[in-house]
Every structure is written in C-alpha cells, then in structure tokens.
Chain A
C-alpha cells in the first residue's frame, strides 16, 4: 500500500562524498564541508553551477564553537546566492538533511540539491560532553549535573532488564561495527577487538564501558539529490528516495518506556508507508541504524521493525546482522567504527546505503543482493527520530 502523498518529482541520490573522520582535523568546518561537497559533486558529474538549492546540517553550534554555524558553512557548502537552509534536530540531523533535501525536490521547488552535513567536535575544551550540559531542564535536572552518558546508561540498563540481554550480547555490536570499519577508508575507530576487550575497557557509567561508545570526531559528508529527469540525465544508477519519516517524541525522558524507541518506530512507519513496505524485516536488505552506543543499534533495529522487540540480541549472536548475514546492519562500520561527527555521521549512513545500493561499497559490499535499505538517526534528548528508505 502506498501512502497518498502527492509529489511533483521522484527524488534520487546521484552522488555522495565524505571526508576523513578524525579526532581533530586541521581543516576548518567550512573546508570540511567543501571537501565532502566537492567530492559529491564530482561523483555526480556535476558542478556547483548545476545545483539549485543547498541544505546544510550541523548539530549544536556549541561544538564547532561558531554561532550561526549554518551560515558560516554556507560558502563551503556552495550555498551562496542560492536558496539555502540549515536543518537541525540534534543527532537526528544527519538523516534530516537528506529528508529536507527530498522535500526541496519532491515539492518541485528545486531540481538539484546539494545536501551537506558537517560537525567539528574537537574545538570544545576540556571535552565536548560539556556542550550537552545545556540540553537539560535548568530547574529539574541541571542542578544534579547529569551528562548524556548517564541517561543512556539508564536506558541501556532498562533495555537489558526488559529483554534479558547480557552485556556480552550487546558488546558484540561494538565488535561487529569496529571490524566492519576496517574496510572503511575514512574510519577513525576501526579495530579488531573481542567482547572481552569491550567488557574490560574503562567503566564510565555502569553499564557503559568506553568501547560501548562511539568516539568524538570531526568530519563532513555530502549528497547530491536530483529530480527524476535530472537524475536519469546524469547517471544510469540513481538511488531513489522511496520513503521518509521523522517524529518527535516526548521531551521528558522519564515518562515513557525506555526499552523501546517509539520515536524511531513512528518515523519508520511513516517512511515504510511511503515506500509501500509492509514487512520491513523481509523487504529491507541492508540497514544503517544509528549506533552511537552499541545497545542503541539493537534498540533501533527493533524500532525499525527489522527484528521483534527484544529479538535483536539473539539474531546478532547468530550473525544475522553481519555483512554476510541475512540483514546486514552498519556495514559501513557505523558510528562505533567510523566515528561520530554528529550530523556528518548520520549522513555518512545514508551515503553508505547509496554506495551499497550501487554496488560501489568495495570491500564493504554486503554479500546478499540489495534492493532496498533503511538508514536512521536519532537526536535531541532521545526524542527525535529520522528515517529514510532508499531503493535502486
């Protein structure tokens, strides 16, 4: 069943680009944006003159340490003298960028869109975690000195309790993704590690150890999206945007079930409906769920309905989500392996699907034939879900 959404134009991705993901890069944020954007344009065989509109994505200004970071990035993103907009939904921004680019084209407003996501987390000292201090309620929560890892530790614990999942089962995500990242030339945290390494790494906030978490990164990624006519003119293998969905859940994290990501589930249902997908666990061939923490990948796999609630840890152990498995997840290496420059990390996931669906992922190419993929990101105080379904 296809949803009754009227679009003027089908939308395709025709090019992708990415920079190195590293802890601290020499490049300024706009130079990073430029490197990724230029690579995407070259990949699409287009020049900046061919681009009608620009969508920029970057998470809080406080990371780059530049207010109005979208405007600052505009020249490096090719946005001068063009309709340019910055979108921002926290960590969900990376997937919100191609969603916004989709509606620019689907509405008929633009024929070609350059979508750029950039994040430079290294400027904030002593640690970018300090930036997160201001996402909390100033009266009810901030005086307690919470940080992000605290609440995710609580969510992880809830998930472990609800699903009877062990830390060993969850650590396998980190092992898988870091290993996948060994084949990714831009990866920052690729490694061949064991479950034992994860469990014996430094304990940060129980039950979260250091290797359960993605690193702090600088980086950028970019896509070129085009209308159907334009896409068919520039490439023989466009990757279609078949469905998009985004939802905002309750801002208060204490009055909902932390064991199941409702924000992702609602967004996924919207995207699947648009794509005409009724049984995502069968119809999706490859997935890039958002994995800043290892349990989060399992959590999101369930939210995306690629596994039943609480079923993901068992499937993971059976190798279901490996690159050679039935439903490969994070073949790129994910945030755990490639790195987590927030907005750029989300867009990297969409770029990976683009390469997978064009069979251009090289050593990262999944074993099974691929027709459809889903990428997802999540942001804000655990409540923003953004989902995109691509097909070839």
Chain B
C-alpha cells in the first residue's frame, strides 16, 4: 500500500519530488488509488492485446482520430514484441466528435464477432483522418469485419456498448485524464505518449514490484 502510494507520488511529477511534501501531492493523485488502478484493469469488456496470460497490463485510453494515439500504436507493438508477458487493454475514449465515437462503437461491436483487435488495428493504422462513418466502415471491411453482422451487433448490444464507453469516460475523469492518449501501467499514470523503450522499462518495474512481497 505504502509503496503504491509512493509510486503514485512519483508519477504525480517533480513538484512533490523537489518539495518532499507528501501530503499535498498525495491529495493530487487520489484518483490513482490501488482500488481504482485495479478496477481499471478488471472486467475489461474487450479482448486484451498481447499475451493472454500476461502479468502486466498496460491500459491505453485512446481516440481513433487522435494523431498521437496513432503514433503510440507502433510503440505499443514494440512493447508487445519485446515483452512476451505484457498485454494491452484498449479503452476507447472518443474525444474527436461523432466519427470518433462511431469508430469506438464499431470496434467494441466487433467483439461479438471476435474481430475487435483486428478492427482496432485497422482504425488506429489509418493513414488519414477518419472523416466519415463510410471511411471507418471501409477500413473495417478491409480488415475482415463483417459489416452486416456489425450493424446488427451495434443495435443488439447498444446498451453494453454505451455502458463501456460511459465507463471509459468515467474512468478518464476519475483518473483526471486531460486528453488522449493516456497510459496506466499498474498504478502509474502517464498522460500522453511514451516511446516503446520507456514503456518496456515501466512494465518491467511494475512486474518487479508486484512480485515483491507486499509491505
């Protein structure tokens, strides 16, 4: 518990570091309590990318039309390639308007045909802005998503999809996220992107600390 708190302090930035003032900084990072960190990873609702039996989970909040989320895709792939025990949970938090929202819903709806990760990859690697629903659908179709099935699932599972998006939004607010992308690695929150190498080190550290006996 104490070590978790300390790590969160660090993540809350250098202000606390230079002051050594634990109390006010702790107040700042209340959002990332271990309970929240755990809740964020628990019951994902979507498939996990990477090792199914992985030990460290990286959570990424993203929007399919956010340029830096697009850039993060390669960094995430780098992590998964380098670290066979890491896994990634994508949380759709659309901030770029209706098309982004549609893209997020479509990826979630693809879960029911087992294509959510394929759908995610297809949209996050789009070479241009997703400027309309048609653009989104074209990319999904090219990735092997059954559009007729998708449309049915979008209607049939509307409530579940709504709930997932709402939940991501709530988590984002709870975590105090200011925008996309944002990463949660254990109880460390990284607002913004991160190069693959840094990501790997954070995952390794998280693994070491979670394996150490809890104090």
A and B held together in a complex: no
Residues of B within 8 A of A (CB): none
